A and B are shown apart, each in its own frame.
Chain A
Amino acid sequence: MHLLTGFILALLVSALLRATIPERPLLAAILPAVAAAGLLAFFASELLSMEFWAGGVGFVAILSALLVVMHPNPMVSVLFLILHLFCIALFYLMLQAQALAALQVIVYAGAIMVLFVFVIMLLNLRAEEGLRLGGGVQRIGALSVGALFAGLMFWAIRNRRDHPFFAPDALVEGFGTARQLGWLLYGKYLFAFEAASILLLAAMVGAVVLAKRRLQ
């Protein structure tokens, strides 16, 4: 119940202040949600369970993913993708994956998104170039496929029977730390680790060759 409360509260606060501050819609959407959550944490700390934060972060993750997909300006899409990646990192923290949360912020939001920003600025893409969404039939087809896909996944998840709850005391010591990741990467999954490094080398060579100017 707390989860839904967090979800709905974040939605209501964002919608309310987006309506009241029209000249800064992004700030009006994000800042009051954070401020409301902070005020609630200060005054009613027993009300804020993990589910409440999960619902709020979930709302921001879905909203930012929708804005990545829907916004006409690719630069704004990149910024919302960075916000989305931070939300996913928060989910990792809730799921006892601390090392992965740090890696997510460093690698994904810190390196891959910087690459996207560089390319968008290099190509000097503007909103009017990115505004061309697909045609009418394509959009109807895409949305219906998306609805079918979502329905299929919800049905599959609803029909799970095995483990409805987490077992909070059954984790090994240091689950999700970098030490455990390191033991596995250099132990059991050493071959995959080395193969990934060769893959990165190949990608680096490929990227340099593809983006290089033609030698005169």
Chain B
Amino acid sequence: MIRVEFFLVMGALLFTIGCVGVLIRRNIIVMLMSIEVMLNAVNLTFVAFAREGQSMTGQIVVFFVMTVAAAEAAVGLAIVIALFRRRRTTDADDASLMRW
């Protein structure tokens, strides 16, 4: 039987990988993909705890996290398209108009 710590450690590791990806990469689309990796790690943790606590609530939360991730990916990509149309670049460091 697989212990629950395996899935928790896997979720933590994947969350860290996604987090480092958001911090390191400058391409906005790869940053969005790293956010998706983080969200999937959180989903894995929720499902692992749902299995351990024998409760379906964890899986319901995952359902809604998937919904919100879909909405956020759609709007984020629309923003990227609008930004690219104006600036011809997907470098996040070039969108620095409001930086001090």
Contacts and interface: CB of A to CB of B under 8 A. Distances in A.
Interface of A: 3, 50-51, 54, 58, 61-62, 65-66, 68-70, 74, 77-78, 81, 84-85, 88, 91-92, 94-97, 99-100, 103-104, 107-108, 111-112, 115-116, 119-120, 122-123, 125, 129-130, 132-134, 138-139, 141-143, 145-146, 149-150, 153-154, 157, 160, 163-168, 170-172, 175-176, 180-181, 184-185, 189, 192, 196, 199-200, 202-204, 206-211
Interface residues of B, number: 69
Contact of B37 (A65, A103, A172, A184): A65
A154 B75 contact: no
B14 A199 contact: no
Nearest to B17: A65
A97 B59 contact: yes
B30 A210 contact: no
Contacts of A172: 54
Closest 5 CB pairs of A and B: A69-B21, A203-B71, A142-B23, A153-B12, A210-B78
A95 B74 contact: no
29 contacts: A54-B6, A69-B21, A69-B37, A81-B37, A84-B40, A94-B2, A95-B7, A95-B51, A97-B51, A107-B70, A115-B73, A129-B91, A130-B29, A139-B24, A142-B24, A146-B20, A153-B12, A153-B16, A157-B8, A166-B4, A184-B56, A185-B63, A199-B67, A200-B71, A203-B72, A203-B75, A206-B78, A208-B78, A210-B81
